[in-house]
A = this chain, B = another copy of it.
Amino acid sequence: MTQKITQRNVADLANVSTGTVSRVINGHPLVSEEARKAVLQAIEQLGYIPNKAAQSLAQGRTNNILVAFLDKSPILPSTWQYELPILQAINDYLRLNNYSVQITIHTADSNLDSVLFKDVMSDKSIDGMMILTSLAIEESFIRSLEESRIPTVFIGNGPFWHDGNQVGTAILFDNFHIIQDAYNMLRSLGHERIGFITGSDEHIHSQIRLKAFTEIAAKHMDPESCEDLIHHGDYSINSGFEALYHFFKKADPPTAIICANDLMAIGAMKAAKELHMRVPQDLSIIGFDNIEVGSFYSPPLTSIKVPSYDLGRQGAELLLKTIKDGKTREPITLPTELVIRNSISKMV
């Protein structure tokens, strides 16, 4: 067993006090060059590494931040296209700034409040947290959060309010306008009957995408026709597959479909093939997320690209700022982008 090297050992070897060692470690300006050298040399020689727990205890902060993922069901690798670059970004930025990244993945059968507070936040071993969920967040959770005073950034959700003041900071991306852009682009290609396949109804992104669709469609047709063009999926390939069959069982099916994610678009394309419909000649399809395999489909899938990495990166930056000055900030919304490929075409 390598025995523990403490600050004391370093101090002795360098012939200074532990206070001086501490100053050197923490970059305190008032240390003589001579002392600093001696200390650094001793540290090197002994292979000394400060004990984090002791530092945390003495300083009252931990340099730990928690990234919490909350969803209804366990991770499905295929649906983490959005989350993963966010995680990578958070990791990159926080490590660079000397923070450790703790994560927790919660399947919220129960409500967030008990889950998150009891199991996680409560351990008081974090300086701040980033919450990544597209589930609705309960009022009670926001209240607990407010009370706990833990600096928090919500990614892709929020902003949230309690008693008139904002709780946490939100970093978002534009779900709304891009859906309308997609719609308008399909219209400009001559499509009049444009369908929409939603994601899981309890996901806020899916709700927003649906709202965007409903509002823009309402400008061009009456509400009932619009209803007929909406099918509720759950983000799975299979639900996209079924949605297409659903649409084409009815009279007057859509000539173009916007899907709330790429997986459903892939399912829809598969169904289209079974129904002997050609994409894009007979049916235009647009997905969401811009997953890698999408560009390798035949035809390559038109999709919407979310700036995941930036979301994580800027979110982490905001969090550190908040930890420093305690202020919550205005929500930030990052732009999304329509990536056009061959799965859409002019109406013939």
Contacts and interface: CB of A to CB of B under 8 A. Distances in A.
Nearest to A262: B293
A26 interface: no
A188 interface: no
A77 to B, nearest CB: 4
A292 B266 CA distance: 11
A53 interface: yes
Contacts of A270: 296, 298
A105 interface: yes
B52 A75 contact: no
A62 interface: yes
Interface stretch (A79-87, A133-141, A214-222, A226-234): A79-87
A268 to B, nearest CB: 11
Interface stretch (A118-126, A242-250, A332-340): A118-126
Interface stretch (A31-39, A96-104, A155-163, A167-175): A96-104
A292 B237 contact: yes
Contact of A84 (B51, B53, B75, B119): B75
A190 to B, nearest CB: 28
A147 interface: yes
Contact of A49 (B51, B56, B100, B123): B123
B298 A125 contact: no
Interface string A266-307: 110010010000000000000000011100101000000000
A148 B49 CA distance: 12
B266 A293 contact: yes
A84 B80 contact: yes
Contacts of A30: none
Identical copies in the complex: 2
Contacts of A77: 80-81, 84-85, 291-292
A292 B85 contact: no
A222 B150 CA distance: 66
Nearest to A1: B149
Interface in A37-84: 49-54, 56-57, 62, 64, 74-78, 80-81, 84
Contacts of A148: 2
A95 interface: yes
A200 to B, nearest CB: 16
Given A56-B53, A75-B84, A88-B75, A100 B102 contact: yes
A2 B270 CA distance: 56
B296 A267 contact: yes
Contacts of A267: 296
A91 B104 CA distance: 7
A258 interface: no
Contacts of A153: none
B293 A263 contact: yes
A105 B124 contact: no
10 contacts: A1-B149, A52-B53, A57-B57, A75-B87, A77-B80, A78-B81, A78-B293, A87-B105, A100-B123, A103-B103
Given A53-B56, A75-B85, A91-B105, 14 more contacts: A50-B124, A53-B57, A53-B125, A64-B102, A74-B88, A75-B84, A77-B291, A92-B105, A95-B104, A100-B104, A100-B125, A241-B296, A263-B292, A273-B298
